Chains A and B, each alone.
Chain A
């Protein structure tokens, strides 16, 4: 406030800071991004390749690692379609209809985002665990939920619950209800209206939502850690396998698997950005 004496040499918009301040801010931003964002990612790949690519690849080719990859894919394969159907149904009925309790439902859909992943795992142990509500009943019938695939799927369903609904809902709301109403006056039923009219209008957003849901399903750690039981080769997903290897001081292996997961994240990120551009342009085009 005191340096009213400085006279800018050339025109500078009133909303812009002086050049040296802008330069300073840019440098500071880049530094923050380097330390907080780039270095951690770089560290994953450097650590993974510390003893060379072959060692990293060998670590991935271990049977236990391969089993973890298979299990991770399996969990995602079950989880994503369930949340796809549920998320679409929820987004459709919130966007296209008015009913009492709509706000509560919208809040409920966001809820898993603000719940600790550990709690997401915990709630299913409380129900299906050895001392859970259904524990004795399940034990008597020799059905294993916790420390087995169903538990992993349930915990993953919980943490990936909002993704599809959250990405598709704003798009559906933006589209309004005109086209669906027109379809109704032309004699179309609910399913047809949904498939022929609503869905094509949100397809890119939907794909982005599915990708995000899938990335989280494959990368989830906290929730599945609680329900997994950490049985190598059986109930270990990739992130859990990273933990085991790391705790056993097999750093090269741990970082190799971590690098694989990081790649998944990066690919998802790039694809999501691409889809956002595509749907943005799509809005104007057709």
Chain B
């Protein structure tokens, strides 16, 4: 109600706060209350709690061998999984957009499964598949002697599963909107198909590939439900960082748990920032 009084202020030097559509204050109020109480204040706790340890304590808490191993594993496995997903996701997106074959529609629909399946369900399903007696685990063990479930390989496999649709679904619309005439032009200029793909198509997709990679990576770093069943959770070997948070909480080491969480967020931020910068350079390079 005081809102209209402010608007009538005749001595205003700045733009009059007239808004064409009414209802701004109410909706912004609800939004801030909602976002503040559910996301902002809680995340503030994550930033402030580790400070209780003091700089030295924080350093010790994070340079603990077990913490370092867990962070290395989480980030390394996430990176590897997203990297393997890149060609796989490109293949699936390409098949959906460019190819016509029986089952294409089913493939398109199935691509969202990792989004739709609750992580705990995915976790036990992937474990059952890759266990030494599983549909995939048994032949891999027999043929190559590979152990997937309860090893680091299993973690990467689970993270590949959750990350795959991020890459394929990011690529899909870009691939669909990509004009075919660039490829036709390349062909008229005498380029072979392979040259066209390598020099025309791939560079055009590169920024999108990076976006997909970043999304898959960000999701994989924090992934919990689909990993803990398949991981085996051996300290120093197959213990992921989110699990370490849970363990520290169970020991009532709140500040230590928050420190690991904060470190994860900070590291993710650095990786995503790097991807973003790389993308920007790519875009500028193309102009």
**Which residues of A does B touch, CB under 8 Å?**
1, 4, 13-18, 22-23, 25-26, 28-30, 32-33, 35-41, 43-44, 47, 82-83, 85-86, 89-90, 92-93, 96-97, 99, 105, 108-109, 111-112, 114-119, 122-127, 129-133, 154, 157-158, 161, 177, 180-181, 183-184, 188-191, 193-194, 215, 218-222, 225-226, 239-240, 242-243, 246, 254-255, 258, 261-262, 264-266, 268-269, 272-273
Contact = CB atoms under 8 A, between A and B. Distances in A.
Interface of B: 19-24, 26-28, 30-31, 33-35, 38-43, 45-46, 49, 88, 91-92, 94-95, 98-99, 101, 103, 107, 109-126, 128-129, 134-136, 160-161, 164, 180, 183-184, 186-188, 192-196, 218-219, 221-225, 229, 242-243, 245-246, 249, 252, 254, 257-258, 261, 264-265, 268, 272
A25 B42 contact: no
A177 B20 contact: yes
B161 A118 contact: no
Contact of B118 (A33, A35, A158, A221): A221
A28 B92 CA distance: 9
A39 B218 contact: no
Contacts of B116: 215, 265-266, 268-269
5 smallest beta-carbon distances between A and B, as pairs: A190-B23, A116-B222, A219-B118, A86-B34, A29-B95
Given A193-B23, A254-B124, A41 B117 contact: yes
B135 A90 contact: no
Contact of B111 (A33, A92, A108, A118): A33
Contacts of B268: 114
Given A32-B92, A97-B19, A116-B242, 20 more contacts: A15-B180, A15-B187, A25-B99, A26-B99, A29-B92, A93-B27, A105-B31, A116-B264, A123-B46, A123-B261, A126-B46, A127-B45, A129-B249, A158-B42, A161-B35, A189-B23, A191-B23, A243-B229, A262-B117, A264-B118
Contact of B245 (A86, A119, A161): A119
Contacts of A262: 117-118, 121
Contacts of B265: 115, 119
Contacts of B123: 221
Contact of B126 (A40, A118, A129): A40
Contact of B91 (A25, A40, A268): A25
A222 B156 CA distance: 18
Nearest to B135: A39
Contacts of B91: 25, 28-29, 32
B245 A33 contact: no
Chain B interface mostly helix, strand, loop or mixed? helix
A184 B225 contact: no
